[in-house]
A and B are shown apart, each in its own frame.
Chain A
Amino acid sequence: MLDQFDPADDKMLQVIDNNGKVISKELMPALSDDETVKLYKDMLFVRTLDFMIVSYQRQGRVYTYPPNYGQEAIGVAAGTVLRNDDWLVPAFRELGAWLAKGVSVKEVFLYAMGHEDAFKFSEANHMIPMSVPIASQLLHGAGIGYAIKYQKKDEVAMAFVGDGGTSEGDFHEALNFAGVWKVPVIFVVQNNQYAISVPVKMQTASLNIAIKSKAYGIKGIKVDGNDIFAMIAAFRYAHDYARKESQAVLIEAVTYRKGAHTTSDDPTKYRTTEEEKLWDKKDPLRRMKLFLEKKKLWSDAEEERITEEYKKEIDRIFMEVEKNINYPLEDAFKYTYAEMPQDLRNQQIEHEKFLQWKNARK
């Protein structure tokens, strides 16, 4: 499949069109009806959770958050191939994949509220914390790939980045290291057309992003990131290939960030409503819903009922997290080193003396 969609021909893997009609039957991944419906529900859950976090942010109950709106298919599809021992090296906009790895909704809230306890990932195995400096995490993926190969383990690392990140040196170094070392890493570029306000055409003169794989001697494929079936087909193939051949793959998922870059951003400043409307037709949930409706697997009533259910549950968890959130002073100190230097301990003790003085004054 990776050869069939040569990025040099600028071909894009698609399974369904904008109206949910299957356009390439032979590429449709094998899925039962239940599995298919679950995919939609997972995307719906991500969208609902995402909307609610943005709304909590607007209420001042959450700090900065990067919405996933419009990009739900990529994370959810990634989650379908990631096994317990596979590694997820996230950027920060692949919520569906985090949840599939076992990150709890509570941890997602802690992340959005600004608490490192989010990254304890008590139920998520082989999950690396979200990374803010752009593209630097891709090298962590390549390093994990080396460890997997060295330890002769049956694992795959999947590392995410955005289109803007492909301009960073670390993107190129990561693909180069993974290519030279021949390690099982899937690099996923969510090409959502913008790096905050800068359009992708200002990031690269390449024909597409997937074609960059060729320079590093690895395979690459451009996929419709708003077509969940296409994403699953690509992920299944890449996962199998990376594992069996111990090779890296670059997947470009073409999508559109319907929301803001983060809750601090205002996209109306740098893009037009015409453009947004164009992408509305390609919305991943809309397309899959049309597909499901044709097969009589889904209805508006079902959607309404389940969305309400999700909202209730999400809000219940949020209130619980909000009520119990706590950040003791010692937590600011104790994780800086695995073996805490005495001087750092003394700094904490010194500050505690000040706090005692302060409390005594009250």
Chain B
Amino acid sequence: MKAMNIVNALNDALDIKLSEDKNVVIYGEDAGFEGGVFRVTEGLQKKHGVERVFDSPLAESGIAGTAVGMAAAGLRPVIEMQFCGFIYPAFNQIISHITRMHNRSRGKYKMPIVIRLPYGGGINALEHHSESMEAMFAHIPGLKVVVPSTPHDAKGLLISAIESEDPVLFLEPKRIYRAIKQEVSEEKFSVPIGKAKVLTQGTDVTVVAYGAMIREVQKAIVMTKEAGYSVELIDLRTIYPLDKETIIASVKKTGRLIFVGEEPRSFGVGSEIMAIANEEAFLWLEAPPKRVAAFDVIVPYPQGEHHYLITPDKIFYEIERTIKF
């Protein structure tokens, strides 16, 4: 065991996969020599060679499109998009090829591609550096969308993502890259894609969240304890395929559901969670399911971002309103 933050844990997962599988290659803008702007790939080029961990030309469509060819020819590319807001030039390659080649070729060409994508706000960044647009990607047939909230899950999920025969969009909550340290095994282990985790057992209300929002919900739970409420917290860990069973079982137990996300509220992951509760647990509901998510506005620049971010007291406020409904 070793104390690791999310950056260390991701680096460890990449190192393990590079060591055991010659087909794994890593590339992107600054991903090689410098080790990425967040240092997730630091030291990997030196250890595994410039042919396996390298800087590519600065072109997101090019990075994603070349990964399609590499995967068709047997490699397992792990590509890095520097920030969520920079991924859009690659969108066509993702939606038209990465997620379609397996279907189009009737299974002949698998696309074991991992797209690493730092996302989310709260770091006082420039425009385009704070978005949470995961719902856009979860909507694409053929893609898996994964998001860890702890160093342990970051390592285990990234190993699963690299071993997945399907393409995986791997969201990295950059706000908590270095915020949490945890004892993580240095051995290889994996966390399965598609399985949520109940982090806190409770009986009054189910809160579903993921990524950097987990920590905010946990802060809110401290407040709810003082108020005497029992909250069950589910960390989704995978957005698609969604672990409906865990959500439904919990909602049937608590009768109440709150989604917490930093995404724009409408048509989001939260909307899907609401739909599931209505379709699968309608008769168990004692209060309307509620989304606590960002406004449907452009993320304000740092001076205004405090208006936009989801805070523990806002989460507590909505928990209390739901319980008292």
B106 contacts which of A87, A119, A128, A144 (Cβ < 8 Å)?
A119
B165 contacts which of A131, A339, A342, A343 (Cβ < 8 Å)?
A339
Judge whether B40 is part of the interface by a CB distance below 8 angstroms.
Answer: no
Expressed in whole angstroms, the Cα–Cα distance for A144 and B72 within the complex equals: 7
Q: Closest Cβ of chain A: how far from B126's Cβ, in Å?
A: 23
B105 contacts which of A119, A176, A336, A342 (Cβ < 8 Å)?
A119
Do A176 and B57 touch across chains, with their CB atoms under 8 A apart?
A: yes
Q: Which of B143-193 contact A (CB under 8 A)?
A: 144, 164-166
Expressed in whole angstroms, the Cα–Cα distance for A177 and B60 within the complex equals: 11
Of A7-15, A53-61, A167-175, the one contacting chain B is A167-175
Judge whether A63 is part of the interface by a CB distance below 8 angstroms.
Answer: no
Do B102 and A335 touch across chains, with their CB atoms under 8 A apart?
A: yes
Do A143 and B142 touch across chains, with their CB atoms under 8 A apart?
A: no
Expressed in whole angstroms, the Cα–Cα distance for A339 and B110 within the complex equals: 10
Judge whether A141 is part of the interface by a CB distance below 8 angstroms.
Answer: yes
Judge whether B21 is part of the interface by a CB distance below 8 angstroms.
Answer: no
Task: Map CB proximity to B onto A64-92 as digits: 1 under 8 Å, 0 otherwise.
Answer: 00000000000000000000000101000
B241 CB contacts on chain A under 8 angstroms? 341-344
Do B62 and A148 touch across chains, with their CB atoms under 8 A apart?
A: no
Do A174 and B65 touch across chains, with their CB atoms under 8 A apart?
A: yes
Do B69 and A145 touch across chains, with their CB atoms under 8 A apart?
A: yes
Do A338 and B165 touch across chains, with their CB atoms under 8 A apart?
A: yes
Do B105 and A173 touch across chains, with their CB atoms under 8 A apart?
A: no
Judge whether A357 is part of the interface by a CB distance below 8 angstroms.
Answer: no
Do A148 and B61 touch across chains, with their CB atoms under 8 A apart?
A: no
Candidate in A89, A131, A148, A336 with the most chain B CB atoms within 10 angstroms: A336
Of B88-96, B204-212, B216-224, the one contacting chain A is B88-96
Expressed in whole angstroms, the Cα–Cα distance for A336 and B241 within the complex equals: 13
Q: Closest Cβ of chain B: how far from A169's Cβ, in Å?
A: 6
Do B165 and A116 touch across chains, with their CB atoms under 8 A apart?
A: no
Do B142 and A147 touch across chains, with their CB atoms under 8 A apart?
A: no
Decide: A169 near B89, CB < 8 A? Known: A139-B61, A337-B166, A341-B241: yes
B142 CB contacts on chain A under 8 angstroms? 336-337
Do B73 and A177 touch across chains, with their CB atoms under 8 A apart?
A: no
Judge whether B242 is part of the interface by a CB distance below 8 angstroms.
Answer: yes
Do A117 and B164 touch across chains, with their CB atoms under 8 A apart?
A: no
Judge whether A328 is part of the interface by a CB distance below 8 angstroms.
Answer: no
Do A136 and B92 touch across chains, with their CB atoms under 8 A apart?
A: yes
Q: Which of B75-93 contact A (CB under 8 A)?
A: 75, 77, 89, 92-93
Judge whether B67 is part of the interface by a CB distance below 8 angstroms.
Answer: yes
Q: Closest Cβ of chain A: how far from B206's Cβ, in Å?
A: 19
Q: Closest Cβ of chain B: how far from A79's Cβ, in Å?
A: 20
B166 CB contacts on chain A under 8 angstroms? 337-339
Judge whether B198 is part of the interface by a CB distance below 8 angstroms.
Answer: no
Main secondary structure of the interface of B (DSSP, over half): mixed
Expressed in whole angstroms, the Cα–Cα distance for A169 and B89 within the complex equals: 9
Q: Closest Cβ of chain B: how far from A179's Cβ, in Å?
A: 9
Do B96 and A133 touch across chains, with their CB atoms under 8 A apart?
A: yes
Q: Which of B133-149 contact A (CB under 8 A)?
A: 141-142, 144
B67 CB contacts on chain A under 8 angstroms? 143
Do A117 and B106 touch across chains, with their CB atoms under 8 A apart?
A: yes
Expressed in whole angstroms, the Cα–Cα distance for A335 and B99 within the complex equals: 11
Q: Which of A153-183 contact B (CB under 8 A)?
A: 157, 169-170, 173-174, 176-177, 180
Do B70 and A147 touch across chains, with their CB atoms under 8 A apart?
A: yes
Q: Closest Cβ of chain B: how far from A76's Cβ, in Å?
A: 24
Do A151 and B59 touch across chains, with their CB atoms under 8 A apart?
A: no
Expressed in whole angstroms, the Cα–Cα distance for A217 and B108 within the complex equals: 34
B65 contacts which of A119, A129, A136, A157 (Cβ < 8 Å)?
A136
Do B56 and A140 touch across chains, with their CB atoms under 8 A apart?
A: no
A149, closest chain B residue (CB)? B51
Judge whether A38 is part of the interface by a CB distance below 8 angstroms.
Answer: no
Task: Map CB proximity to B onto A246-289 as digits: 1 under 8 Å, 0 otherwise.
Answer: 00000000000000000000000000000000000000000000
Given contacts A143-B72, A335-B103, A336-B142, 6 further A-B contacts (CB under 8 A): A116-B104, A120-B105, A138-B65, A144-B72, A180-B57, A335-B106
Query: Can you give 13 A-B contacts (C-beta < 8 A)?
Result: A120-B105, A133-B97, A139-B66, A142-B62, A142-B66, A143-B72, A144-B69, A151-B74, A170-B92, A337-B142, A337-B166, A339-B165, A343-B242
Across the A-B interface, the 10 shortest Cβ-Cβ residue pairs: A143-B69, A139-B65, A147-B73, A143-B66, A341-B241, A173-B62, A338-B165, A144-B69, A140-B69, A335-B103
Chain A residues near B (Cβ < 8 Å): 87, 89, 116-117, 119-121, 128-129, 131, 133, 136-148, 150-151, 157, 169-170, 173-174, 176-177, 180, 335-339, 341-344
